[in-house]
Chain A
Amino acid sequence: MDEQVTEPRRDQETGRTDEAGRATSGDGAARPGSDQGGAAPAERALPSIQDTARESQPRKGDPAEAGEREIMFGIETLRVSYGGQPAVEDVTFDILKNNITALIGPSGCGKSTLIRCFNRMNDLIPSASVEGHVHYHGEDLYGPKIDPVEVRKRIGMVFQKPNPFPKSIYDNVAFGPRILGMKDDMDGIVERALTRAALWGEVKDRLKENAYGMSGGQQQRLCIARSIAIEPDVILMDEPCSALDPISTGRIEDLMIELKENYSIVIVTHNMQQAARVSDMTAFLMVALDDEEDNPRGRLVEYDQTEKMFTNPSDQRTEQYVTGKVG
């Protein structure tokens, strides 16, 4: 357990410094294990990312051959528009069961829009319209008979900013089961959810305290506990670590790897090292820069096993992005 906790933390440091490096020099990135942040020379960009990807490989479990595993979401020619302007279009790929699937890409390429299609959260934005299909266990999520409330009971979501309810820790976790009408053994449900979210030990003595008294990382794990308390099939995570420090990020990444035994996870991340560390499959989206139409819209550039995406991508744009040359 100790090893599992400390190793990703070190990874995280490389990830953070790497990001800082890119932010200042455009294509620069840190040496692996370097503490120097933005001072790292640009020519070391490539080794850094490949190294991180290789380090994370043992923890990924068996990289699945696409097609052998059960398909969770079958996405077909999906296109999402806001007020008639397409934000992301022409997305077709399959998300596999018991996998962690990462969606990466530069800002504005439609990653968050895409992940919100999987539990129909886009319905909440009046101007948003979705065309195409998202097949889930053979049913089209955007079919006429689908109730979005039922969809969200099966497909949970964790948001970018921790958003616990202004209630006690216990009530936060118990809220979902209660509205689903689960009544028996609520204490047990809460304990199991918190345990699986690696939070039980920290909060078992203060379950009645307000969740706003917790640290950001604890709040985010509480949100994960809250979503797994209702036993969903899939957990969607929209940049779950972007507001957290490296240690909390490491914990949540460990947690994701443990959770994928029982759940399928889709994660949007800006942090490519995070995608490399935790995910099995990676989808890279990008706004088509050479688009001749007026309105830029995101498109799926490449989707493959994470290892291949980060070491030997078949699309040149993917390589440029994962090596930090663009984006």
Chain B
Amino acid sequence: MNEPGSARTRRAVAGARAAVAAGIENQPTADVRKSIAFQAFLLFTIGVAILGLALLLIDAFVEGLPRFGTELFTAETSALPQDSGFYNAIIGTLLVIAGVTAMTVPVGTGAAIYLEEYADRERWWNRLIEVNIQNLAAVPSIVYGILGLAFIVRGPLSIGFVVLAGSMTLSLLVLPTVIIAAREAIRAVPPSIREGSLALGATEWQTIRRQTLPAAIPGIATGVILAISRAVGETAPLLLVGAAAFVTFSPEGFFDRYTVLPVQIFTYFARAQDEYIVLAAAGIIVMLILLLAMNSFAIWLRNRYEQKW
């Protein structure tokens, strides 16, 4: 009796296994092919993105590297391309972004605090402000350039083609980005921290000043640096608000005339002589180094001070 019983069991088990195996192997191959094709397409898109960037970089490096050296950072602009450096432009860029930082950090953080901590989202004007900020972040930079020219360089403020005009124009440009980044940093502070502080008898302002804001500062700083590195690369609005094509001196204050790196690169490329083209390519390397340094600092800051909740 045992023998046939166990044989039957064996057969049944074998049959079940075969059925399961058949089920696994008989997957419709069309689906598999589709999935592979989709993956290949995704890889291709990544490839295009990286390849484009790589080609640009390689081109700039191949052309500019022979001309690249420390004198690019220290030499002032000269009438002769072989003696020219980017010292004036670097100082101009640093002054402009110092102005941008001084203006966007307090205004941007303040706006973010209002929107996150005080604004009642039920009110239509708060929603209007929110939608507007998001839309402003998408406005083309040239529009800000025209605005700066009409209202800051000329028009009501009429401060002329000076560093401050460049700073104010770029501040308007990056402010929406800074506000959005600061809001996200403030929102990342869990409500339980605010509750804990308020439950100890702290006022709303004390809670913001001593708990929420300190906890959000690393995030805000990261956002500000990334926004400013965008401002560093901006050319179009600065062409309009007076970053001069050719200045042989460095600005000494916010009311001096100035030039910035991208504008200088732009004008060098527009010249006929080959020496200027090479100089412009070397300028790109200088600017890339500046941007990479800023972005690395932002990443370091985020990793170093970011609070894990």
Q: A residues touching B (Cβ–Cβ < 8 Å)?
A: 119, 121, 124, 126, 149-150, 152-154, 156-157, 159, 161, 163-166, 175-176, 179-180, 212, 223, 226-227, 230
- The answer to whether A121 touches B193 (Cβ under 8 A) is no
Decide: A121 and B198 in contact? CB cutoff 8 A. Answer: yes
Is A156 a contact of B199 with CB atoms below 8 Å? yes
User: Does B196 sit within 8 A of A, measured CB to CB?
Assistant: yes
Q: A121, A156, A175: which contacts B195 (Cβ < 8 A)?
A: A121
Interface presence of B200 (CB below 8 A):
yes
Q: In whole Å, how far is A212's beta carbon from the nearest beta carbon of chain B?
A: 7
Question: Which residues of chain B have a CB within 8 Å of any CB of chain A?
Answer: 120, 122, 190, 192-203, 206, 210-211, 215, 307-308
Bound Cα distance A152, B204 (Å) = 12
Task: State in angstroms the CA–CA spacing of A226 and B196 once bound together.
Answer: 9
Bound together, the chains give a CA A166 to CA B199 distance in angstroms of 16
A212 / chain B contacts, CB cutoff of 8 Å: 307-308
A227–B202 Cα gap in the complex (Å)? 12
B116, chain A: closest CB distance, angstroms:
14
Q: Which of chain A's residues have a CB closer than 8 A to the CB of B200? A: 152-153, 156, 175-176, 179, 226-227, 230
CB-based contact A163/B193 at 8 Å: yes
Please determine whether A157 and B210 come into contact, CB atoms closer than 8 angstroms.
Answer: no
Residue contact B202 to A124, C-beta cutoff 8 Å: no
By a CB distance below 8 angstroms, the chain B residues around A126 are 120, 122
List chain A residues, Cβ under 8 A from B192: 159, 161, 163
Number of A-B residue pairs, CB cutoff 8 Å, is: 65
Residue from B193, B201, B203 within 8 A of A166 (CB atoms):
B193
Interface contact B195-A179, CB-CB below 8 Å: no
Query: Cβ of A149 and Cβ of B307 under 8 Å apart?
Result: no
- Can you show 8 pairs from A to B with CB atoms below 8 A apart? A121-B198, A126-B120, A163-B192, A163-B195, A163-B196, A175-B197, A176-B200, A227-B199
State which of A119, A223, A230 has its C-beta within 8 Å of the C-beta of B196.
Answer: A223
> Contacts A175-B200, A230-B201 given: A124-B195 contact, CB under 8 Å?
yes
The residue of chain B having its C-beta at the shortest distance from the C-beta of A210 within the complex is B307
> Is there contact, CB below 8 Å, between B210 and A179?
yes
Given A161-B192, A165-B197, A175-B202, 12 more pairs with CB closer than 8 A: A121-B195, A121-B198, A152-B200, A153-B200, A159-B192, A163-B196, A175-B197, A175-B200, A175-B211, A176-B202, A179-B200, A179-B201
Does A157 contact B197, Cβ atoms closer than 8 Å? Answer: no
Whether A176 lies near B201 (C-beta < 8 A) is yes
Pairwise interchain contact A121-B199, C-beta atoms closer than 8 A:
yes
How many Å lie between the Cα of A121 and that of B198 in the bound state? 8
Quote the shortest CB–CB distance from B74 to chain A (angstroms). Answer: 43
User: In the complex, which of the residues B190, B192, B200 has the most CB atoms of chain A within 10 Å of its own CB atom?
Assistant: B200
The answer to whether B199 touches A175 (Cβ under 8 A) is no
Contacts of B210 in A (CB 8 A): 175, 179
Chain B residue contacts of A223, Cβ below 8 A? 196
Contacts of A163 in B (CB 8 A): 190, 192-193, 195-196
Complex Cα–Cα for A218 and B215 (A): 21
Per the bound structure, the CA–CA distance linking A259 and B198 in Å amounts to 22
Q: How close is B123's CB to chain A, nearest CB, in angstroms? A: 11
CB of B306 to closest CB in A, whole Å: 10
Which residues from B are CB-within-8-Å of A124? 194-195, 198
Contact call A165/B195, Cβ cutoff below 8 A: no
B211 x A165 contact (CB < 8 A): yes
A165 touches B199 (CB 8 A): no
User: Which chain B positions have C-beta within 8 A of A179?
Assistant: 200-202, 206, 210
